Amino acid sequence: MAPTQVLYMEERRGQDPDPCYLREFDARVVERGPDFVVLDRTAFYAEGGGQPDDTGFLRWDGGEAKVLRVQKEKGLVRHFVDRIPAADDVHGVVDWERRYAHMRMHTSQHLMSGLMFRIYGARTVGNQIHADRSRIDFQPANFTPADLERIERECNDVVASAADVRIFEEDRAVVENKIEDRALMDLIPRSIRRLRIIQVGEADYCPCGGTHLKNVREIGAVHILGKRSKGKETDRVEYELRTA
Ligand SMILES: [Zn+2]
Q: Could you give all domains of the chain from N- to C-terminal order, each with its CATH number?
A: 5-94 (2.40.30.130), 99-242 (3.30.980.10)
d(Cα 72, Cα 45) in Å, to the nearest integer?
Answer: 9
State the distance from the centre of ligand 1 to the C-alpha of 113, rounded, in angstroms: 10
- Residues in Cβ contact with 182 at an 8 Å cutoff, skipping those fewer than 6 apart: none
% the chain with pLDDT above 90: 85
Is the model's pLDDT at 244 over the cut of 90?
A: no
State the distance from the centre of ligand 1 to the C-alpha of 109, rounded, in angstroms: 8
pLDDT band at 38 (very low <50, low <70, confident <90, very high): very high
d(Cα 36, Cα 27) in Å, to the nearest integer?
Answer: 15
- Residues in Cβ contact with 185 at an 8 Å cutoff, skipping those fewer than 6 apart: 175, 176, 179
> For 3-17, 156-170, 175-189, which range has the lowest pLDDT when averaged over its residues?
175-189
User: For the segment 67-109, what is each residue's pLDDT rounded down to a tens digit?
Assistant: 999 999 999 999 999 999 999 999 999 999 999 999 999 999 9
State the distance from the centre of ligand 1 to the C-alpha of 206, rounded, in angstroms: 8
Q: Which residues surround ligand 1, an ion (CB under 5 A)?
A: 198, 208, 210
d(Cα 114, Cα 117) in Å, to the nearest integer?
Answer: 5
State the distance from the centre of ligand 1 to the C-alpha of 6, rounded, in angstroms: 15
Which among 214, 211, 210, 184 has a CA at the least distance from the CA of 201? 214
d(Cα 111, Cα 92) in Å, to the nearest integer?
Answer: 31
Please tell me what DSSP assigns to residue 131.
Answer: S
State the distance from the centre of ligand 1 to the C-alpha of 144, rounded, in angstroms: 26
State the distance from the centre of ligand 1 to the C-alpha of 180, rounded, in angstroms: 17
d(Cα 83, Cα 35) in Å, to the nearest integer?
Answer: 7
State the distance from the centre of ligand 1 to the C-alpha of 169, rounded, in angstroms: 14
